[in-house]
Structure 1
Amino acid sequence: MADHDTPILQGLFHGGIHPAEHKEATAGRPIRELGVPEVLHVPLSQHIGNPAQAVVQAGDRVRKGDVLGKPDGFVSVPVHAPTSGTVTAVADYPAPHPSGLSAPAVTIEADGRDEWTDLEPHPDFEHLQPGEIRALVRQAGIVGLGGAGFPSFIKLNPGPDRAVDTVILNGGESEPYLTCDDRLMRERAGEILQGGSIIAYTVGAERIVVGVEANKPEAFAAMQEAAAGWPMVDVVMVENRYPMGAEKQLIQTITGREVPSGRLPADVGVVNQNVGTAYAIYRAVVHGEPLVERVLTASGAALAEPANLLVRLGTPIEEVARACGGYTDLGRLIMGGPLVGSALHATTAPVVKESNGLIFQARAEVDGALALPCIRCGACVDACPVNLMPNEMYNLARNKEFERIADYDLFDCIECGCCTYVCPSHLPLVHYYRYAKSEIQAKEREKEKADIARRRTEARDARLQREKEEKEAKRRAKKKASAKEEEGKGESGDAREAAARKAAEKRRSMRGEEAAGPEDATADSGEPSPGSDQQEPK
């Protein structure tokens, strides 16, 4: 247990809220491993970025850890088989998404053997180059397990122009109900720190700071004990204020550095990773295990026995509920926390990498109040941890004034839900911000496509004009060459004609001389010419 005199770092960010925690139902429950279900549905999209592309087909036998889908593009990671068995389908299946729509997934019928594929452990990771570690993390399919789902290998590559000196392991977990990170820190603190050391080695940082929220004294004590032999590690207790677990807010609280708008933590020398992500990186590098399971919190008043469970990815949510004694009077099912999570339509959807919580709220827990007009009370402005003006952004989003809303720094919104939580009119503010962001991004994509089409057209026109000019230049050059050739032919023809005339004259002159020569000779000698007075012999 942490000492009561342990200093608590106060959050340096504006706003924030203190919602009812609802953590008591699971905080005292150790992590329990859920068995492998008979059938698993593994979505090919489980993270931010492009979905993986299937590399298996129905009838294939796979082992635990085999690649089911390969990355598609840079912001993408593979997905792996969570157990051994036979692929029975590669087809659309209900996705754990608020839309309730289906998405491509690989269905596996488990064979009960849970046989691992061939693994390549690297216990002496210091012998690897940072690039090799990033490759291992990507090949293991690791993404942010705090709920963001961003591919972790990208965070581990801050770039040559960014000097990172600090790695923060985020143990804030400030959302209500969730206790999976709390339990992970209590039970596997050493492995988390080993994962943190791999991260620090990869990014070149010399310091690791573990930030634990003040409502987790047991986790704080466990991390301090594990860090006793790590000179580069500091374990600090931070204020219990939502959204302390948000990346920029935790960085500012621990380091005093503020990440500027539109910039990344690496721009201020920090890399931030969730403690669950650090644990997964440790398993991937040291043991060679890809990400095929995760710890999640199953809670809520509708659930009979709330718990912290180690669950295979692709496990139907219904199986998780069954392992917790089932549910009754379900009013709403949320994947993630109640403030930033997604409401799901069915328990047939599977557990994915982003599933840090499954909240089975009873009907009595669901706020069914109707939304009323904004009364401009300013409560949302006071609560916003990013110093935005949520009420103005709401009005602009509702009126589809997307060009104006950008002037209010819409994309700085971290969608924490503080504004929605404090709104006395029960306005779904965050939904409007997400809507506005998606519309703006869609317009930007359309503009980008139009710009690409315009540049292609301009390039084509320029090419055709260039080819036309080159063709005309060749034609003129050929014509000029022909003219010179004709001129050359004309000059040589005149010369030949003059030479021929001269030769002809010479020949005529010679013939004339030959004809006149004998007569002149006879006259000079005084002798008669042949045949003058003589007759030819008969």
Structure 2
Amino acid sequence: MSPVPLFGRFDPARLFSFKGGVHPETRKHLSAERAIEDMPLPALLRVPLLQHVGAEAEPLVARGDTVLKGQLIGKASGPISANVHAPTSGQVIAVGPFPAPHPSGLPVTTVTIRPDGADRWGPRLAKPHVATAAPETLAAQVAEAGIVGLGGATFPASVKLNLRARYDLDTLIINAAECEPYLTCDDRLMRERADEVADGAGIMARALGVRRVIVAIESNKPLAIEAMTRHRHVLDHVLQIKTVPSQYPMGSEKHLVKTLTGKETPARALTAEMGVVVHNAATAHAVHLALRYGEPLISRVVTVSGRGVARPANLRVPIGTPVADVLAHCGGLVATPERLLLGGPMMGQPIQNPRVPVIKGTNGILALTAGEARDQRVMPCIRCGLCVQVCPMGLTPFELKARIDAGDLDGAARVGLLDCLQCGCCSFACPSNRPLVQTIQYAKGKLAERDSAQHQREEAKRLAAARTARLAAIAEAKRAAMAQRKAEMAAKKKRAGQATTETAAKAPIPPAPSAEAPKAPPAGAQPDVQPAAPTDAPTDVQPGAQPDAQLGAQLGALANAKAGAQVEARADAKADAREAVE
């Protein structure tokens, strides 16, 4: 049964609108007609082990190792992580920290490979039969290939494919809006590889178990729409090709879902809770290569544009290629760029060092001149309210900035700090050039840092309390064991004393000495005195007595017998002495 959105029964032809958004100059003409080229291998490839959302992959190679193309060099280290593979064959010359392609420039663990030029493949990934394979098998192969969201979010794709186990899913949306200015990599991919993109979408639909697949393309890409329409039939699905308005941020997951289905995703909720999963068009193409040809994610299509580049282009670039080599392949820079960005001009990351590598989430390299970059002079807020009008999340960016500047992070969180998309619409519309989105990004980072520190303190307290309780329990157990041992020893001694008393009472009483004096032996004869025979120890000890009590009883009986023999011997000696005197 079709889902029922907020505005009535689902209508495949109907589109919905969302509040806010902007219409920046697209400037896609610089690279839109440039066919995809294969980037030659550079002299060095620097492959970071953290180029995805989640935990860093664990290195599986060391300096001096020889690797083959497609070989696993970094193993996913958690439920939210991704495998990393060698982009080509060659020798590992270093495994260690190298600056990340991020404004901070902080280092991450990086595998540096010197290509050997042979580009020799290692063993390919397993290729299951897509039409009959279980959904779990398809998702596992996507995970093995290290595929992440290639629209820039870099969330592990297999995690999204496994959402079928938690939510009742009915729709897969292929996000081909590509709403940021300058970027044309998805447009060219759909024009030139429409059948492969459609096949990847069909594979993901089987893995998710959905009934409907929608491919959303902005209206400024007519050739891509035409190409995808020719390949609508794939596996057991018929793709619905939907043309959406050219409006930024149409590529936002929640706003694309609202436009296509009318369903509004609650704050900080997942679209999967509404029955919808969104994947990027380039991600679908990567799934096709992995499941059909056993190729892991080792390269991606990148748009190189901006008036600071001699020759704008769309390139298939091996992961780990330095940005400087990509720019050199495009003829280099015509002038020192005002801004060098990885990604689009709205949400891209500025970089200072062109030696940083291309990673899985790099969909563009932009060299913007002073005429293309915005005026950087910051002026006071004039309370015009434009930032509020264009915010697609319905926030008040000027109030957020005021609270953040005052150090009131909790107050900023109360008025929607965590709901911000960081899309940059507010900064784009601000006539005073105030760094609204940059301030919000900083505040979200500080809030996350504070929350992490608070969590660490609470966890340390919990662990300390648990250790104290554990040690107290161990000490109490020792005291209880000692008390029990003392009680057992006291009981044993008591039982031994009782057994000795009973044995002594039961021992035979020796006979009294005879009053008749014995006769004296003849002269010269030895006294006929027989030695006293030892008396056997009594054996009439109680069967239930302990071994110690039995031994005590036997020793007591022996002592009584010995005393009786000594009395008899002394009596005999006295009699002999009297006879001698007489």
Distance 1:314 1:75 in 2: 21
Tell me which of 18, 22, 36 is aligned to 1:17: 22
Larger displacement relative to structure 2 (89-98 or 205-214): 89-98
Q: Are 2:238 and 1:232 aligned?
A: yes
Q: Are 2:456 and 1:454 aligned?
A: no
Tell me which of 484, 494, 502 is aligned to 1:477: 484
Tell me which of 96, 99, 103 is aligned to 1:94: 99
Larger displacement relative to structure 2 (332-341 or 103-112): 103-112
Which residue does the alignment assign to 1:399?
406
Q: Are 2:323 and 1:322 aligned?
A: no
Larger displacement relative to structure 2 (79-88 or 208-217): 79-88
Q: What SS does the aligned partner of 2:277 have?
A: strand
Q: Structure 1 residues 168 and 486 mapped into 2: Cα distance closer, same or farther (>3 Å)?
A: same
Q: Are 2:281 and 1:275 aligned?
A: yes
Distance 1:100 1:489 in 2: 81
Residue deviations 1:335-374, cap 9 Å, x none? 0000000011022221111110111101222223321222
Q: Structure 1 residues 492 and 143 mapped into 2: Cα distance closer, same or farther (>3 Å)?
A: same
Which residue does the alignment assign to 2:150?
145
Larger displacement relative to structure 2 (56-65 or 381-390): 56-65
Tell me which of 71, 74, 78 is aligned to 1:73: 78
Normalized against structure 2, the TM-score is what?
0.83
Distance 1:65 1:376 in 2: 54
Q: What SS does the aligned partner of 1:106 have?
A: strand
Which residue does the alignment assign to 2:190?
185
Larger displacement relative to structure 2 (436-445 or 240-249): 436-445
Higher-RCO chain (CA-CA 8 Å, sequence separation at least 6): 1
Larger radius of gyration: 2
Distance 1:155 1:453 in 2: 33
Distance 1:256 1:232 in 2: 21
Q: Structure 1 residues 368 and 63 mapped into 2: Cα distance closer, same or farther (>3 Å)?
A: same
Kindly indicate whether the alpha-carbon contact (under 8 Å) linking 1:328 and 1:362 is maintained by their aligned counterparts in 2.
no
Q: What SS does the aligned partner of 1:311 have?
A: strand
Q: What SS does the aligned partner of 1:470 have?
A: helix
Q: Structure 1 residues 282 and 217 mapped into 2: Cα distance closer, same or farther (>3 Å)?
A: same
Kindly indicate whether the alpha-carbon contact (under 8 Å) linking 2:125 and 2:296 is maintained by their aligned counterparts in 1.
no
Kindly indicate whether the alpha-carbon contact (under 8 Å) linking 1:375 and 1:425 is maintained by their aligned counterparts in 2.
yes
Q: Structure 1 residues 8 and 496 mapped into 2: Cα distance closer, same or farther (>3 Å)?
A: closer
Tell me which of 278, 294, 297 is aligned to 2:303: 297
Distance 1:471 1:121 in 2: 57
Residue deviations 1:355-406, cap 9 Å, x none? 1011110122222332122222221111111112211211122222122222
AA paired with 2:365?
Answer: L
Which residue does the alignment assign to 2:347?
340
Q: What SS does the aligned partner of 1:315 have?
A: coil
Q: CA deviation at 1:88?
A: 2.1
AA paired with 1:137?
Answer: V
Kindly indicate whether the alpha-carbon contact (under 8 Å) linking 2:202 and 2:237 is maintained by their aligned counterparts in 1.
no
Distance 2:346 2:244 in 1: 20
Q: What SS does the aligned partner of 1:24 have?
A: helix
Kindly indicate whether the alpha-carbon contact (under 8 Å) linking 1:10 and 1:239 is maintained by their aligned counterparts in 2.
no
AA paired with 2:470?
Answer: R
Kindly indicate whether the alpha-carbon contact (under 8 Å) linking 1:397 and 1:436 is maintained by their aligned counterparts in 2.
yes
The 5 A counterparts of 1:160-179 are: 160-179=165-184
Q: CA deviation at 1:428?
A: 1.1
Kindly indicate whether the alpha-carbon contact (under 8 Å) linking 1:381 and 1:387 is maintained by their aligned counterparts in 2.
yes
Residue deviations 1:128-162, cap 9 Å, x none? 32222222112211111001111111111115331
Larger displacement relative to structure 2 (382-391 or 224-233): 224-233
Distance 1:51 1:494 in 2: 78
Tell me which of 247, 251, 260 is aligned to 1:245: 251
Distance 2:275 2:213 in 1: 12
Q: How many residues align structurally?
A: 504
Q: What SS does the aligned partner of 2:231 have?
A: helix
Q: Structure 1 residues 434 and 9 mapped into 2: Cα distance closer, same or farther (>3 Å)?
A: farther
**Identity across matched positions, percent:** 41
Larger displacement relative to structure 2 (285-294 or 61-70): 61-70
Q: Structure 1 residues 497 and 121 mapped into 2: Cα distance closer, same or farther (>3 Å)?
A: closer
Kindly indicate whether the alpha-carbon contact (under 8 Å) linking 1:123 and 1:287 is maintained by their aligned counterparts in 2.
no
Q: Structure 1 residues 484 and 90 mapped into 2: Cα distance closer, same or farther (>3 Å)?
A: closer
Kindly indicate whether the alpha-carbon contact (under 8 Å) linking 1:47 and 1:353 is maintained by their aligned counterparts in 2.
yes
Kindly indicate whether the alpha-carbon contact (under 8 Å) linking 2:63 and 2:94 is maintained by their aligned counterparts in 1.
yes
Q: CA deviation at 1:409?
A: 2.5
Q: Are 2:338 and 1:331 aligned?
A: yes
Q: What are structure 1's unaligned runs of at least 5 residues? A: 1-6, 516-538
Kindly indicate whether the alpha-carbon contact (under 8 Å) linking 2:395 and 2:415 is maintained by their aligned counterparts in 1.
yes
Kindly indicate whether the alpha-carbon contact (under 8 Å) linking 1:42 and 1:107 is maintained by their aligned counterparts in 2.
yes
AA paired with 2:74?
Answer: G
Q: What SS does the aligned partner of 2:269 have?
A: coil
Kindly indicate whether the alpha-carbon contact (under 8 Å) linking 1:316 and 1:350 is maintained by their aligned counterparts in 2.
yes
Q: CA deviation at 1:8?
A: 8.0
Distance 1:499 1:338 in 2: 109
Q: Structure 1 residues 62 and 489 mapped into 2: Cα distance closer, same or farther (>3 Å)?
A: closer
Distance 1:324 1:257 in 2: 43
Q: CA deviation at 1:485?
A: 2.8
Larger displacement relative to structure 2 (394-403 or 195-204): 394-403
Q: What are structure 2's unaligned runs of at least 5 residues? A: 1-11, 517-582
AA paired with 2:434?
Answer: L
- After TM superposition, the runs of 4+ consecutive aligned structure 1 residues lying more than 6 A away are none
Distance 2:53 2:187 in 1: 25
Kindly indicate whether the alpha-carbon contact (under 8 Å) linking 1:295 and 1:308 is maintained by their aligned counterparts in 2.
yes
Q: What SS does the aligned partner of 1:117 have?
A: coil
Residue deviations 1:50-106, cap 9 Å, x none? 222222223222221112222222221122111122222223333211123433322
Distance 1:369 1:272 in 2: 35
Q: Structure 1 residues 380 and 189 mapped into 2: Cα distance closer, same or farther (>3 Å)?
A: same
Kindly indicate whether the alpha-carbon contact (under 8 Å) linking 2:151 and 2:280 is maintained by their aligned counterparts in 1.
yes
Larger displacement relative to structure 2 (445-454 or 92-101): 92-101
Residue deviations 1:229-250, cap 9 Å, x none? 6653211111111000011110
Residue deviations 1:282-306, cap 9 Å, x none? 1011110011110111110111211
Q: CA deviation at 1:419?
A: 0.7
Kindly indicate whether the alpha-carbon contact (under 8 Å) linking 1:11 and 1:238 is maintained by their aligned counterparts in 2.
no
Q: CA deviation at 1:11?
A: 4.6
Q: Structure 1 residues 8 and 414 mapped into 2: Cα distance closer, same or farther (>3 Å)?
A: farther
Q: Structure 1 residues 422 and 11 mapped into 2: Cα distance closer, same or farther (>3 Å)?
A: farther
Which residue does the alignment assign to 2:379?
372
Q: Structure 1 residues 132 and 231 mapped into 2: Cα distance closer, same or farther (>3 Å)?
A: closer
Which residue does the alignment assign to 1:413?
420
Distance 1:354 1:507 in 2: 111
Q: Structure 1 residues 436 and 8 mapped into 2: Cα distance closer, same or farther (>3 Å)?
A: farther
Tell me which of 409, 418, 429 is aligned to 1:422: 429
Distance 1:113 1:369 in 2: 47
Kindly indicate whether the alpha-carbon contact (under 8 Å) linking 1:335 and 1:357 is maintained by their aligned counterparts in 2.
yes
Q: Are 2:364 and 1:357 aligned?
A: yes
Kindly indicate whether the alpha-carbon contact (under 8 Å) linking 2:375 and 2:433 is maintained by their aligned counterparts in 1.
no
Tell me which of 470, 490, 494 is aligned to 1:463: 470
Distance 1:231 1:202 in 2: 12
Distance 1:284 1:228 in 2: 20
Kindly indicate whether the alpha-carbon contact (under 8 Å) linking 1:78 and 1:139 is maintained by their aligned counterparts in 2.
yes
AA paired with 2:157?
Answer: S
The CA RMSD measured in Å over matched residues stands at: 2.1
Q: Are 2:394 and 1:387 aligned?
A: yes
Q: CA deviation at 1:9?
A: 5.5
